[in-house]
Structure 1
Amino acid sequence: MGVRCSPEIGSPAEDFAAPFELYQDSSGGENWRSTNHLNRKHEVPVAFRGYKLKSGESERTGLRATPIVTLSRGADSVGVAVPHFWQNFPQAVEATSNSLTLRLFPQQSTDSHELQGGEQKTWTFAVAFGSDATPEALEWSRTPARAFASPKWYCESGAIPYLSPKVDDPNADYLKLVDAAIEGADTFDAKREKIDEYGWRHFGDIYGDHEAVYHTGPQPMVSHYNNQYDPIAGFAYQLMRSGDLRWLRHMEELAAHVIDIDIYHTTQDKSAYNGGLFWHTYHYVDADTGTHRSYPRSLLQLKGMPGLDPNDPKAQRSKSVYALGGGPANEHNYATGLMLHHFLTGSAASREAALGLARWVIDMDDGSKTVFRWLASGDTGYASQSRDAGYHGPGRGSGNSLSALIDGHRLSGDVAFLNKAEQLVRRCIHPNDDVPKRNLLDVENRWFYTMFLQALGKYLDHKIERDELDAMYAYARASLLHYARWMADHEVPTLSRPEILEYPNETWAAQDMRKSEVFKFAAKHATGAEKARFLERAEFFFRDSVSRLTAFETRTLARPVVLMLSFGYMHAHFQRHPEEAAPPPKVEARDFGRPEVFVPQKVRAKKRAKLLVVAGVALGLLGVVALVGWLLLK
């Protein structure tokens, strides 16, 4: 009988005596006792740095184990290898004279293992038997071979419109902003180390360091990014553009985290929540015991919010949300990266997660699933509202819903997704909209209208790919051009008006890249002088976004880098192909009528409830009058 183990990547296999135990208690990093690991008692339960390896009566320690352990008895052998062992601490591997045990939630931990409502956890490990059960034979699991096409092949396939190889992109200043994620002193790996973004619940997520810019405490402020603006997709784009496998690693690790922890795996809550994606940590506060839920339980965090008086109405509203714990919402629904992860790796879990987020859009808008169904039928409006329940125009919520539905249709071919997408297009935008009435220049409250226009461009590309140049294609195309014309006349760089912003920071410069992309989509559907004007505006906003962001010392914070990962790569394509043109509709352009005002189910239900109360009171009064009259006549 014999136990052999290679505890870390690069370490040779050694013989050990039974009983054998390798237990990883913490990440082994410099900040292994980070408050990121607070438990329900508000304690950091990790007991020591790194791992302990016990063999017989001897013991030694190390920092970061990625173990391969084999057990042999006579001609029989079994082995296990765990690729992300230390990253998903606590974990343990044990061997006795007749057993080999991998403990995923190990009993050696001093704390309980708590799954919050709707969380799940998936581990990956390799098991081998017989002649394959040797440390040498299992070494492949640490750095498995992967097969991918060349950037040229990915880009020329047309599967991702406007994608071009990184080597053909002449915009070096833009590429430098993108590569800050994997190169330099402030990479996403370096960010992880600051708050020790490791452990079975945290590994794979991005540290939202942009939320800590006003933090002055002795310990780093913990903030979880939870896939805001879809860095999974950004990693996929950059992998296909460059072939650099660092992007693959980040894509896979974040996708695994989002699928398990950030998606709300339940059918027992509200239809507006079930299966949704949790928001990032609330702005400028520490995650505390809230982990990857949006709001920490502690209301004391409000005192640290910049510019916020805990006694003003805004703070009181925030406190009420804190008490609720926060829930998923349409404004934080990002499915594209999960779809691309499935296409690139074949991951069935990512496919189902992306489809689930598309189904969530339909479910949250289904009035038959709410308590208001007894008073009013029809759609809730939860799929299309942005910022507040009364706005159902072009916005972040409606844009994310539209994008997720397109992804769902692309993955499955289920016409229900496309039908819902087209319903939202008709609800949220119209070729004859009075755009100034949308108040889109109120940047704090309406900046996100460009997110919807980007999704509208994606919808048009999807229709072109399917050769569905029908009436809805004509409607969406006319709507995009209508808003682009207004933008060309009125939009300016957001930071050129810093006085209108609460926090004029680097993110505004990055968000302006969206304006450049909207103009590119519009140019594709325009002709002549108008096409030239849209291309000029696209060039202007691209250059302005890159130059303003580059000027910020905070340009490498998580949020602006994520925005650069997903937006801006279109520019190189249009530089090479300014003549790119979309086909016209196959139906003759017609009068699209007048825009209709959408009224959410809850509003209609409340109105009917009031009418029922008034009617009930009136009937009651009539009854009283009738009774009095009867008594008088008696």
Structure 2
Amino acid sequence: MTPDSGAWSRVPIVVTRRRASDGTARHEPITVGLPFPQGAVADVAHLDLRDAGGRSMALQARALERWHDGSVRWALLDFQTDDDASAFSVGLGPRPTIARRIAVTHVRGGVVVDTGAARFTLLLHEPFPFASVTIDGRDAMARDRSGLRVVDGNGRACRVQLRRIGVEDQGPLRTTVFVEGTISNWTRPLLVLQARLHFFAGSAAVRCALMLRNPRPAAHPGGIWELGDRGSICLRSVEVEMALPAGEVTVSCSPESDRPPASCEQPLELYQDSSGGEQWHSPNHRNRNGIITTTFRGYRFRAGSVRSCGERATPAVTVERGDERIAVAMEHFWQNFPKSLEVRDNTIVLGLFPQQHADLHEFQGGEQKTHTFTLAFGSDPISREAVAWGRSPRVAHGCADHYCAAQAVPYLTPGNDVMAAYDALVSSAVEGPDAFERKREIIDEYGWRNFGDIYADHEAAFDSGDEPFISHYNNQYDAIAGFACQFMRTADVRWLTQMEELATHVVDIDIYHTTRDKSAYNGGLFWHTFHYVAAGRCTHRSYPNAKGVSGGGPSNEHNYAAGLRLHYLLTGSEWSREAAIGLGRWVIAMDDGASTPFAWVASGATGLASATCTPDYHGPGRGAGHSITVLLDAHRLSGDRAFLDKAEELIRRCIHPGDDVEARDLLNAERRWSYTAFLEALAKYLDDKAERDERDEAYAYARASLLKYARWMVRREYPFLDRPEILEYPTETWAAQDMRKAEVFLLASRHGTDDERPVFQERARFFFEYSTSTLRRMPTRGCARPVVLLLSHGFMYRHFIEHPDDRAPAPRVPTHDFGQPPAEFVPQKTRALERLKPRHASLLLRSLFARTAAVNS
């Protein structure tokens, strides 16, 4: 998008509904992340937005990520639609003056946000979310009857105290205020509260994302993680109340998004007890006592003497008197059951964890939940429209050609005839009988803890029971990244929707949000449900109390951040950015020997970041590979060099250009299949280094190592299912895993010699075609695991077919001998236990006495 950039002069943006049944709102705020080619955009201040008629529109833009040369790689764009228009474009040019701008004033203990339509005051030690809301100098809500109400499991009202309020993102069209606080009962703190409140120019509507977290650690006795753990906290209710001053009011309610609002009497109650689906009474909804807590199908509606019921509500409620008006709407209301929306005494009550539920609401140790809802004040047309976009927001996106040509995601290409077999396999995730959204209905993967996750139907292969077999996928193989890549290849919003829903679930439920457990677990990602065992009462925490389950916890072999990074770049979600960086910190922390009980016996790294399959194996494997990949993503998002340094440390620990590859026993599929995941991570490291023009000795070392193993693969690798007798379960997943081999060969071809490149590419073609053709013949090809594997692996094939001469830059350092491989890495625990053996005890005691004497001297 430089002046001579030709095709990059304008980038189309489409604003569309996610589903045909969604309504359309005018005056809707839009936020979208877009990539740009290297060198195209020097400064987001040079971008301008135009509608389909070529008229310039107000635009707010912020750089999310930059190329090595400083140009914008990803930008977050904010604008507002004036009507139901759906076509826009962004390019270089002058911007119009923004007439309606948000003004922010910092006051003692808080901030005041003036959108031009309303004035919002947020203060410490005042109710959440607002100390006051005024329109034209008049109070728009009753302060004494509005706020967040929390009741603990014993029926006692809790104290909500705000401790930090700050402006996170200040712009003329959208400003975000971050709020943090605590929720306590009379004896102790219970929950952490965090919220992001989004204010929009010219609007009296606020989009609120409210997160509640139990920061206590779980006890997980014997590595079993179940409901009822002593680290859990139980609540009776959490409700947001917004009240008009006393007097006669008019109440209206629309229970579902395709139903117009109708006048109602007070008291009004809409309570969603279950999903409303055929499996609404699924064992997926068992509580800590093993009791299914859903009591009826769908929702009930009561208003005065009127009674009715329905299946799936996405409600909006309004209370008004003349120009005074408050409305509340919430997206994904029924999906996150139980939920309630009521009106009593001129007060709208949004039950995030409603008191009508048949059981207490249990927050497991380190568990959190984020709800997003919209609060609208005033009777102006813009604020009235917020009811529509508050429960069914439209989505904006670019076109597939732009996403791919920008090269912000390497090797991304749209589909074509070459990719037809591959595309047919992956598309089953969004269409047809195996669509992931459709398979949610099998186990009723709904409710606030479940919504967004993928049903792990492949785990039910050996189940013969009568009730649904519950198994949760927990983002294995980074389904979030797969959804994001497929969305950018196709611009099909079904992929974007799956990405957003899964990312929100993973950030809240699948990550262990505590700092009070062991460093190997704190901030970690929980595995999928234990193989071929029903989840029971372990929810999304992998290890139920069941026969054959040995127990465990979060581990380096199940750690994924690339999808969270892409979710942040495509949507601006700070929750996902923080989660991805947090997973990088987890890698560093788990490997830090200073934080373990063995630190006083043996120093050095624990090896928990690099082990695969067994504690003593620290060669190429998914454990180290996932750690390296996460560290690279955390480095991109934070700019913190410590993440890159740790990645390079793990590379040196696990691989060497002089390795005896045959001695690694890599053809032992059950134990060493995942070495290809490490080589993919190594190639990603090389791409990142080359992009930053860091072609140093570390780059040369990694490059030589990748080529050493790729050359061995040419001679020795074969499809897994060619030898089914050595596989415990020769399932469809093995055919999908062969796609990793194709990718290793493709990526290695960028670094190989002129003679090697066609050899690598031919082997890539073989494994690509083998994987797709084999899967197409298998009736279980639509199961979750093989489909997710292909979502993130295989799409780059077309790029290399069309660019067979694509080369990575050579190292700047002269080619040299990297020496002999170092001695095998020994984990801290192993070294400590060795030192604790009797023959070493006396030496150890002498060392300890010497240290003590030195400290006391």
TM band (smaller chain): over 0.9
Match of 1:308 in 2: none
Match of 2:388 in 1: 139
Taking the aligned partners of 2:384 and 2:259, their CA distance within structure 1 comes to 11
The correspondence of residues 246-285 of structure 1 with structure 2, limited to 5 A, is 246-285=494-533
Asked if 1:488 is matched to 2:710, the reply is no
What is the CA distance between 1:194 and its match in structure 2? Answer: 0.3
What is the CA distance between 1:589 and its match in structure 2? Answer: 1.3
Q: Given residue 486 of structure 1, which amino acid in structure 2 is its aligned partner?
A: W
Q: Which has the larger strand fraction?
A: 2
Q: Given residue 284 of structure 1, which amino acid in structure 2 is its aligned partner?
A: Y
Asked if 1:433 is matched to 2:659, the reply is yes
Match of 2:455 in 1: 207
Taking the aligned partners of 2:641 and 2:322, their CA distance within structure 1 comes to 59
Asked if 1:360 is matched to 2:586, the reply is yes
Taking the aligned partners of 1:152 and 1:339, their CA distance within structure 2 comes to 21
What is the CA distance between 1:546 and its match in structure 2? Answer: 0.5
Question: Using a 3 Å threshold, how does the CA distance of structure 1 residues 432 and 217 change in structure 2: closer, same or farther?
Answer: same
SS state at 2:499 partner: helix
Q: Deviations along 1:174-231, whole A, 9 cap, x unmatched?
A: 1000100001111001110000000000000000000001100011210000000000
What is the CA distance between 1:138 and its match in structure 2? Answer: 1.3
What is the CA distance between 1:165 and its match in structure 2? Answer: 1.7
Match of 1:179 in 2: 427
Taking the aligned partners of 1:135 and 1:472, their CA distance within structure 2 comes to 58
Taking the aligned partners of 1:46 and 1:612, their CA distance within structure 2 comes to 61
The correspondence of residues 23-422 of structure 1 with structure 2, limited to 5 A, is 23-132=271-380, 137-166=386-415, 168=416, 170-297=418-545, 299=546, 302=547, 315=548, 318-319=549-550, 321=551, 326-422=552-648
Match of 1:631 in 2: none
Question: Using a 3 Å threshold, how does the CA distance of structure 1 residues 154 and 557 change in structure 2: closer, same or farther?
Answer: same
Q: Given residue 828 of structure 2, which amino acid in structure 1 is its aligned partner?
A: Q
The percentage of counterpart residues that share the same residue type is 60
Asked if 1:463 is matched to 2:689, the reply is yes
Taking the aligned partners of 1:492 and 1:525, their CA distance within structure 2 comes to 22
Taking the aligned partners of 2:564 and 2:434, their CA distance within structure 1 comes to 25
What is the CA distance between 1:141 and its match in structure 2? Answer: 2.2
SS state at 2:371 partner: coil
Taking the aligned partners of 2:287 and 2:809, their CA distance within structure 1 comes to 57
Q: Deviations along 1:395-416, whole A, 9 cap, x unmatched?
A: 0100000000000111111110
Match of 2:171 in 1: none
Asked if 1:454 is matched to 2:680, the reply is yes
Taking the aligned partners of 1:617 and 1:574, their CA distance within structure 2 comes to 57
Q: 1:615 aligns with which of 837, 842, 857?
A: 842
Taking the aligned partners of 2:695 and 2:844, their CA distance within structure 1 comes to 55
Q: 1:571 aligns with which of 790, 797, 810?
A: 797
Taking the aligned partners of 1:214 and 1:135, their CA distance within structure 2 comes to 53
8 Å CA contact retained: 1:174, 1:546? yes
Q: 1:476 aligns with which of 680, 686, 702?
A: 702
Match of 1:560 in 2: 786
What is the CA distance between 1:6 and its match in structure 2? Answer: 1.0
Match of 2:827 in 1: 600
Bigger drift between 9-18 and 394-403 goes to 9-18
Q: Given residue 163 of structure 1, which amino acid in structure 2 is its aligned partner?
A: L
Taking the aligned partners of 2:518 and 2:820, their CA distance within structure 1 comes to 34
Match of 2:20 in 1: none
TM-score of the superposition, structure 1-length normalised? Answer: 0.92
Q: Which has the larger helix fraction?
A: 1
Q: Given residue 242 of structure 1, which amino acid in structure 2 is its aligned partner?
A: T
Match of 1:307 in 2: none
SS state at 1:274 partner: coil
8 Å CA contact retained: 2:315, 2:391? no
8 Å CA contact retained: 2:285, 2:293? yes
Bigger drift between 31-40 and 522-531 goes to 522-531
Match of 2:669 in 1: 443
Bigger drift between 601-610 and 38-47 goes to 601-610
8 Å CA contact retained: 1:6, 1:135? no
How well do the aligned residues superpose, as a CA RMSD in angstroms? 1.4
Taking the aligned partners of 2:259 and 2:345, their CA distance within structure 1 comes to 24
Q: Deviations along 1:236-271, whole A, 9 cap, x unmatched?
A: 001111100011110000000000000000000010
Q: Deviations along 1:517-558, whole A, 9 cap, x unmatched?
A: 000011110122211110000000000000111111000000
Taking the aligned partners of 1:240 and 1:359, their CA distance within structure 2 comes to 28
Q: 1:531 aligns with which of 754, 757, 763?
A: 757
Taking the aligned partners of 1:617 and 1:11, their CA distance within structure 2 comes to 76
8 Å CA contact retained: 2:257, 2:392? no
Taking the aligned partners of 1:612 and 1:255, their CA distance within structure 2 comes to 52
5+ residue gaps, structure 2, are 1-248, 847-857
Taking the aligned partners of 1:523 and 1:357, their CA distance within structure 2 comes to 31
Taking the aligned partners of 2:751 and 2:807, their CA distance within structure 1 comes to 6
8 Å CA contact retained: 2:268, 2:342? yes
5+ residue gaps, structure 1, are 303-314, 620-634
Taking the aligned partners of 1:97 and 1:376, their CA distance within structure 2 comes to 66
Taking the aligned partners of 1:589 and 1:390, their CA distance within structure 2 comes to 32
The runs of at least 4 aligned residues of structure 1 exceeding 3 Å deviation read 132-137, 611-614, 616-619
Taking the aligned partners of 1:519 and 1:617, their CA distance within structure 2 comes to 49
SS state at 2:271 partner: strand
Q: Given residue 20 of structure 1, which amino acid in structure 2 is its aligned partner?
A: L
8 Å CA contact retained: 2:613, 2:671? yes
8 Å CA contact retained: 1:380, 1:602? yes
Asked if 1:514 is matched to 2:514, the reply is no
Matched residues, number: 596
What is the CA distance between 1:142 and its match in structure 2? Answer: 3.0
Taking the aligned partners of 1:35 and 1:435, their CA distance within structure 2 comes to 48
SS state at 1:292 partner: coil
What is the CA distance between 1:594 and its match in structure 2? Answer: 1.1
What is the CA distance between 1:615 and its match in structure 2? Answer: 2.5
Q: Given residue 606 of structure 1, which amino acid in structure 2 is its aligned partner?
A: L
SS state at 2:432 partner: coil
Taking the aligned partners of 1:479 and 1:616, their CA distance within structure 2 comes to 40
SS state at 1:377 partner: coil
SS state at 1:405 partner: helix
What is the CA distance between 1:235 and its match in structure 2? Answer: 0.5
SS state at 2:755 partner: helix
Taking the aligned partners of 2:618 and 2:840, their CA distance within structure 1 comes to 29
